[in-house]
Amino acid sequence: MALTGRAGLLALIGVLVVGLVLPSWQGILVLFGLLVLCVAVDLVLAAGVRRLTFSRAGATAVRTGEPCVVQLTVHNPGRRLRGVLRDAWAPSAGVVADRVAVDVPAGGSRVLSFELRPVRRGDRVADRVTVRSHGPLGIAARQGSHVVPWTVRALPPFHSRRHLPPLLERLRELDGRRASLIRGAGTEFDSLRTYVIGDDVRSIDWRASARSSDVVVRTWRPERDRQVTIVLDTARTSAGRVEGALGGLPRLDTAMDAALLLSALASQARDQVDFLAFSHQVRASVPRATLPVLVRAMAPLEAELVEFDARGAVAEVLRRAGRRSLVVLLTALEPSIEHGLLPLLPALATRHHLLIASVSDPAVHAMAAGRGDLEAVYAAAAAERTLAERRRLTALLARHGVDVVDALPDDLPRALADRYLALKAAGKL
Amino acid sequence: MTAVSPDAPRIWSAARGPVLIGVIILFAAIVITLLRGSGEGGALDPRSFRPEGSHAVARLLEQNGVRVELTDSASAVDGATLFVTQPNLIDPQRLEDLTRRASATVLLAPAGGRSRLEPETRQPGCPLADRAGPATMGGFTYEGEQSCYDSTLVRTGTVTTIGYGGIFTNRDVDEEGNAALALSLLGQHERLVWYVPSEADRSQQKSLTGLIPDGWKYGALQLGVAAVLIALWRARRLGRVVPEPLPVVVRAAETVKGRARLYRRSHAASHAASVLRQATRDRLAPLLGVPQGDDPSEEIARRTSRPVTSVRALLYDKEPVDDRGLVALAHSLDALENEVRKA
């Protein structure tokens, strides 16, 4: 049960009655008795909440930060229900208004809509539905809760999708579908066609021109149906928060953004994308990923405070990727790579081309530029030490034939996509 | 991110107006108090030199060997003359108690007067005031065992009641036999307690609960019942609190900051210096086209006007530095780098 403000208001009016009319203990007892009677009447006449039935419908997935609607249907088999209903969700589900007044006639149903705007990626689970049913006097109410399960998956926001149109434009240029075809864009021979002004004279096929009445050029196209395996590190280092244009986000979220842009681009280029999230075991695995499937698979991933198991990850990649592929490892360039990943590189590099993409921290760069007082200079020295370590690791990895993309969080998705296009143009896939 | 908590200038600009008003009010209050302070004392105050004050009478009494004690909370009145200038301000019970303890009491115009007479020169007409002779008397008339000046001065036992205070004022004390009458009334004993009641004496000695009608005590109890009911209303939640599983927050630069604090605590200035030198060399090498790891000093010296030895000393010196030297070194390395970039 629950009391309402009216019960308190009645008791307050009772102060006047006691003070002016019945100044005695009996007066107080009489008024209290009356109040208890009203409460009892209200509780008896209020509609029951235990027998209500609920069902849900509506959105099951939404991009983080965007609105969606979940409907809750209340069926009332008993007396007419008047009161308040609260559909409780965790704060990060971003329910705009979780309390609504309800009025369900006897034997009827009502559909209530709740707008959600998730502020954080992951599965947002509905908690309980609580109903407070007021009696006819409005002094007391019956209250009870029901569990009505529903999950809304808040998908990664994919902010970097705005980079996609110019990247696709460049991809089309590589593909030879544009007039500005240049020699070297791709390595696979595509076809012969008549020379038009603007074509590179070096691409003229003289032997074919001799057989024909026109000058004929060869066209090239980039390779297709290559395999790109994206490995996302969800271990210790991915939990680190890095300040970007969107505020402090874990490295994991930036890496996801980059992975999404890369896979969107790669699938447009008709390459096959395999996705693997790995910490000390496989966290998510999507072979032949399409963007919607990939986004759904990424949504519930969280950084774990365990060490990245490089041996396990490499074994998993070798097991899955049958033919030569581009392996993109999204991780942090930290000294632990040296004794974790480095000894395993020969096994990987003989069959695949490895590209490591790492989120660098603008805070470290800011510290490295710090001058003025002693504290700032010591901080600068510590930051320079870290940056030197990263440079050393990059050089070490390059010696093993590994490409490294080390960029600030806002630049990483674009930088990784650019490197992929460069590799594709050079025919290194 | 923009900080929303106010900083010092914003607090000052917001508080400036009220502070200024407060200062003006304080200043005005001080000035008014100082100006007022010069006119000390009111009517029938033995310190007051004003026409309605009583400094003259007090002086006369002192010259006749009477000790005058001005008080606003008479307590030690035993064996003394008690002069009450405003008996109506005092709780009647307390006044009775004081008159019982004092050897003689003079009350000026207490409540209970019958008719009102204009103040003028009147004849005593009784043995009590024969020595003083005619005096300026008037005000209320009273009843008593001995009655003088047309009943404006009466005495019952040790209590003398006088209807008009003119004879005690600086203005009228030198008229007729006023001074003699005042001296005979107030100089009955060696000590005179001159009681000027303050506002505090007016207050009733009843407690707060005594002032509330009995009915409202039960009303207050009912108010308590209402408070409990309102608390129950507000305390009832509509469903339980929903917990939020929060991800760990680790700042990526935390380890770097930790290392900086370690350097600082162990005063590793020399180590920090070598790290900064290495960083500058690494940044300059690609600019100058020198292979990474080679000595860029000669190339730098060629492009800038600095001598090779000084550049090499700056970039490679192994001399230990202290904290102060480290800050200076950081600035010289920056200066060198800027010079190379401009050249």
Question: Which is more confidently placed, B7 or A405?
Answer: A405
Structure tokens at A153: 């998956």
Best A305, A331, A385 member to test B by mutation, with max B CBs in 10 Å, is: A385
**Which chain A residues are closer than 8 Å to B245 by Cβ?**
90
Task: Please say whether the beta carbons of B202 and B196 come within 8 A.
Answer: no
Strands B153-156 and B159-162: antiparallel
Among candidate residues B277, B304, B273, the one with its CA nearest the CA of residue B288? B304
Window A:10-49, CB contacts with B under 8 Å: 11-12, 14-20, 22-25, 27-28, 31-32, 35
| Domain ranges, residue B74 | 55-201
Same structural domain for residues B194 and B71? yes
Best probe of the B interface among A377, A390, A412, by most B CBs < 10 A, is A377
> Does A15 sit within 8 Å of B247, measured CB to CB?
no
**B208 has a pLDDT exceeding 70:** no
* Nearest by Cα to B282 from A261, A157, A368, A298: A368
Distances (CA, A) of A39 to A32, A85, A246: 11, 21, 53
Q: pLDDT digit string (tens) for B137-174? A: 888 888 888 888 888 888 888 888 888 888 888 888 88
Residues B196 and B300 in one domain: no
Same domain, B99 and B186: yes
Nearest to A305 among B218, B248, B279 (CB): B248
Q: Which helix (H) or strand (E) holds A59?
A: none
Q: How far is A43 from chain B (nearest CA, A)?
A: 15
For residue A195, give Cα distances in angstroms to A180, A181, A186, A201.
12, 12, 19, 9
Within 8 A by CB and 6+ apart from A76, the residues are: A47, A52, A104, A105, A106, A107, A108, A109, A110
Chain A positions in Cβ-Cβ contact with residue B225 (cut-off 8 Å): 11, 14, 28, 31-32
Is the Cα torsion angle A322, A326, A331, A334 positive or negative in sign?
A: positive
pLDDT of A33: 94
Residues of B in contact with A16 (CB under 8 A): 219
Residues on chain A touching B265 (C-beta within 8 angstroms)? none
- Name which of A129, A239, A385 is nearest B250 (Cβ-Cβ): A239
Q: Phi and psi at residue A62, in whole multiples of 5°?
A: -150, 150
What residue in B sits closest to A305 (Cα-Cα)? B248
Shared domain for B60 and B196, answered yes or no, is yes
Residues A413, A163: Cα–Cα separation, whole Å: 8
Angstrom distances, CA of residue B162 to CA of A291, B139, B188: 110, 8, 15
Question: Does B144 reside within a domain?
Answer: yes
Looking at the structure of chain B, the number of domains it has is: 2
Q: Is the ipTM of this complex over 0.85?
A: no
Strands A188-194 and A216-221: antiparallel
Instruction: From chain A, pick out residues whose CB is under 8 angstroms from the CB of B220.
Output: 15
CB A116 within 8 A of CB A59: yes
Contact between B218 and A361 using a beta-carbon 8 Å cutoff? no
**In the prediction, which pLDDT does A221 show?**
64
Strand segments (E) across A195-257: 216-221, 227-233, 240-244, 247-250
Q: Which residues of chain B make contact with A8, given a CB cutoff of 8 A?
A: 226, 229-230, 233
Residue B226 lies in a domain: no
Helix (H, G, I), strand (E, B) or coil at A94: coil
Contact B326 A378 (CB under 8 A): yes
Q: Are the beta carbons of B238 and A18 separated by less than 8 Å? A: no
**Which positions of chain A have pLDDT values less than 70?**
175-190, 220-224
Partners of residue A241 in chain B, C-beta under 8 Å: 249-252
Mark whether B81 and B194 lie in a shared domain. Answer: yes
Per-residue pLDDT for B255 more than 70? yes
Does one domain contain both B68 and B191? yes
Place of tokens 């007067």: B113
Look at A380 and B249 and tell me if their CB atoms are within 8 Å. Answer: no
CA distance B108 to B189: 18
* Whole-number Å distance between alpha carbons of B63 and B61: 5
Q: How far is residue B123's CA from residue B120's CA, in Å, rounded to a whole number?
A: 10
Q: What is the pLDDT at residue B79?
A: 80
What residues in A contact B215, CB-CB < 8 Å? 18-20, 23
What per-residue confidence (pLDDT) applies to A220? 66
pLDDT at residue B40, rounded to an integer: 52
Q: Using one digit for the tens of pLDDT, what is the confidence trace for A172-219?
A: 877 654 444 444 445 566 677 888 887 778 778 888 888 888 888 877
| pLDDT over 50 (residue B241) | yes
Phi, psi of B114 (to 5 degrees): -95, -65
| N-to-C CA span, chain B | 38
Residue B300 lies in a domain: yes
Burial class (CB in 10 A: 0-12, 13-18, 19+), A237: buried
Asked if A153 is an interface residue toward chain B (Cβ–Cβ < 8 A), one would say no
- Using CB atoms, pick whichever of B216, B233, B250 lies closest to residue A3: B233
CB-closest option in B223, B253, B264 to A367:
B253
A residues 344-363 closer than 8 Å to B (CB): 359, 361, 363
> Is B251 a domain residue?
no
Q: Nearest-CA neighbor of B164 among B139, B182, B183, B141?
A: B139
Taking the C-alpha atoms of residue B283 and residue B264, their distance in angstroms, rounded to an integer, is 25
Q: How far is CA B234 from the centre of its chain?
A: 39
Q: Is B285 in the same domain as B195?
A: no
Is B99 a member of any domain? yes
Residue B93 lies in a domain: yes
B270 in the same domain as B187: no
Name the residue among A335, A315, A337 with its Cα closest to residue A327.
A315
Q: What is the model's pLDDT at position A155?
A: 94
How far is residue B186's CA from residue B83's CA, in Å, rounded to a whole number? 7
Reduced to 3 states, what is the DSSP secondary structure of residue A287? coil
B171 or B318, higher pLDDT = B171
Same-domain status, B79 and B191? yes
Do the Cβ atoms of B238 and A130 come within 8 Å?
A: yes
Q: Which residue has the higher pLDDT, A230 or B100?
A: A230
Question: pLDDT averaged over chain A?
Answer: 88
- Distance between A107 CA and the closest CA of chain B, angstroms: 24
Adjacent-strand bridge partners of B105: B82, B159
Q: Which residues of B touch A145 (CB under 8 A)?
A: 239-240
Token pair 């009477």 is found at B66
pLDDT, residue B94, reads 81
**Final residue before a domain boundary, out of B184, B201, B218:** B201
* Contact call for B276 and A384, based on CB within 8 A: yes
**Using the 8-state DSSP alphabet, how is residue A212 labeled?**
S
- Closest residue, chain B, to A29 (C-alpha): B222
Classified as helix, coil or strand, A362 is helix
List of domains in chain A: 53-155 (2.60.40.10), 191-221 (no CATH), 227-425 (3.40.50.410)
Can you give chain B as a three-state secondary structure string?
CCCCCCCHHHHHHHHHHHHHHHHHHHHHHHHHHHHHHCCCCCCCCCCCCCCCCCHHHHHHHHHCCCEEEEECCCCCCECCEEEECCHHHCCHHHHHHHHHHECEEEEECCCCCCCEEEEEEECCCCHHHCCCCCEEEEEECCCCCEEECCCCEEEECCEEEECCCHHHCCCCCCCCCHHHHHHHHHCCCCEEEEECCCHHHHCCCCCHHHHCCCHHHHHHHHHHHHHHHHHHHHHCCCCCCCCCCCCCCEECCHHHHHHHHHHHHCCCHHHHHHHHHHHHHHHHHHHHCCCCCCCCHHHHHHHCCCCHHHHHHHHHCCCCCCHHHHHHHHHHHHHHHHHHHHC
What whole-number distance in Å separates Cα of residue B112 and Cα of residue B142? 7
Asked whether the beta carbons of residue A241 and residue B225 sit closer than 8 angstroms, the reply is: no
| Shortest CA distance from A3: residue in chain B | B233
User: Looking at B183, B201, B219, which one is the last position of a domain?
Assistant: B201
In a domain, B3, yes or no: no
pLDDT at residue B130 tops 80: no
User: From the CB of residue B196, how many other CB atoms can be counted at a distance below 10 Å?
Assistant: 23
Q: Are residues B197 and B265 in the same domain?
A: no
- Residue with the two structure tokens 């009332």: A76
Q: With contacts defined as CB-CB under 8 Å, which chain A residues touch B259? A: 382, 385-386
Q: Using only the alpha carbons of chain B, give its radius of gyration.
A: 46
Residues in chain A within 8 Å Cβ distance of B222 = 11, 14-15, 17-19, 27-28, 31
Which of B212, B221, B275, B324 would you mutate first to test chain A, the one with the most A CBs within 10 A?
Answer: B275
CA-to-CA separations, B21 to A258, B9, B13, B14, B232, in angstroms, rounded: 60, 19, 14, 13, 45
- Final residue before a domain boundary, out of B163, B185, B201: B201
**With contact defined as beta carbons under 8 Å apart, do B32 and B158 qualify?**
no
Q: Are residues B283 and B197 in the same domain?
A: no
Q: What is the structure's pLDDT at A179? A: 41
What percent of chain A is helix, strand and coil (3-state, nearest 5)? Answer: 40, 30, 30
Q: Are residues B270 and B165 in the same domain?
A: no
Taking the CA atoms of chain A, what radius of gyration do you get in angstroms?
33
Task: Over range B47-56, report the average pLDDT.
Answer: 82
Statement: residue B306 has pLDDT above 50:
yes
A153 close to A61: Cβ distance less than 8 angstroms: yes
Query: Inter-chain contact A20–B215, Cβ cutoff 8 Å?
Result: yes
pLDDT number for residue A254: 93
Q: Which residues of chain B lie closer than 8 angstroms to A361, CB-CB? A: 252-253, 256
Residue B234 lies inside a defined structural domain of this protein: no
The length of chain A is 429
Contact assignment for A240 to B264 by CB distance below 8 Å: no
Better pLDDT: A383 or B75: A383
Distance from CA of A353 to the nearest CA of B (A): 26
> A220 by DSSP, 3-state: which?
strand
Tell me the chain B residues in contact with residue A91 when contact means C-beta distances shorter than 8 Å: 242, 244
DSSP A172: H
Q: A119 with A138: CB under 8 angstroms?
A: no
